[in-house]
Amino acid sequence: MRKPILIANWKMNGSLHSNQALLVRMLAKLRPFRKTIDMAICPPFPYLFQVRDLLGYTGIALGAQNASRATSGAHTGEVSATMLHEMGCRYVLVGHSERRALYHESDDDVAARFQQVLSAGLIPVMCVGETLEEREQGWTMKVVQRQLQMVIDQCGMSGLAGSIVAYEPVWAIGTGRTATPEQVADTHRAIRQFLENCETGAGQSVRIVYGGSVKAANAAALFSSPEVDGGLIGGASLQADEFSNIGAAL
């Protein structure tokens, strides 16, 4: 039985003042779901400390939006997975499409970051997904398998089996355009089959969440398939009502 998980990716948004106001409202609204679903908030790095304190003993986990591929040293501007562990993080997003597209993170970079996250004792949330052009060419699974295979090659199947996979079609992230529930279910099923082919049992045990313009209004439909174990939520995680109503749909 896979426990659903709801992950908030705040991206590069927030301030000390707005985070406090948002979390106070959000925590009150999320209270009813705390036992039935896992939840995590991934704020920008400078706010990890603040968010960790506000989450306190709610059981809602702290996450980060990325981690360096290096362990320490001369890597100005980078943040290591060990530092994130020290700050109280439990999850780290790896390979988000904005990182791949805007900051040129290759599959190799993503796998190296994934390895660092694992080594620090944290849970990677491995983001995979195709562009619109790739979907239209019928290459969705070819792309997703390539992204997953690089992690398997560098970190082993046991590494991937200990992670969460986030299927996020690039064309649906921050665009207001969502995949259909059928597209989501089909792709999740295909990812599960791929994982199962790599290691018996992995297809059934790994949580696969969907991300891409999820809102309260479409969450129930997108999460309706048993293949979907939760959501990675960007824009809508900045609104307490929207985010908690998405949680109610899980």
Q: Tell which positions 9-48 bind ligand PEP, by CB under 6 A.
A: 9, 11
Enumerate the β-bridge partners of residue 92: 64, 124
Shortest Cβ 210–ligand PEP spacing (Å): 8
Q: Give the residue numbers annotated as catalytic, written as ranges.
A: 96, 168
The tokens 């049992």 sit on which residue?
201
Q: Does the annotation list 213 as a binding residue?
A: yes
Q: How far is residue 57's CA from residue 63's CA, in Å, rounded to a whole number?
A: 15
Instruction: Sketch the per residue contact string, 142 through 181, with ligand PEP: x for CB under 6 A, - otherwise.
Output: --------------------------x----xx-------
- Which of 232, 246, 249, 250 binds ligand PEP (CB under 6 A)? It is 232
Q: Does 226 bind ligand PEP (CB under 6 A)?
A: no
Structure tokens belonging to residue 120 = 């620090």
Stretch binding ligand PEP (CB under 6 A), from 51-59, 154-162, 195-203, 228-236: 228-236
Structure tokens belonging to residue 99 = 């990182």
Stretch binding ligand PEP (CB under 6 A), from 32-40, 75-83, 151-159, 212-220: 212-220
Q: How big, in percent rounded to 5, are the helix, strand and coil portions of the chain?
A: 50, 15, 35
Q: How far is residue 237's CA from residue 250's CA, in Å, rounded to a whole number?
A: 15
Q: Does the annotation list 162 as a binding residue?
A: no
CB 187 within 8 A of CB 140: yes
Of 9 and 82, nearer to ligand PEP (C-beta) is 9
Of 63 and 203, nearer to ligand PEP (C-beta) is 63
Output the CA–CA distances (angstroms, integers) from residue 19 to 23, 28, 191, in the order listed.
6, 14, 35
CB 230 within 8 A of CB 5: yes
> What does the binding site for ligand PEP look like in residue numbers (CB under 6 A)?
9, 11, 168, 173-174, 211-214, 232-236
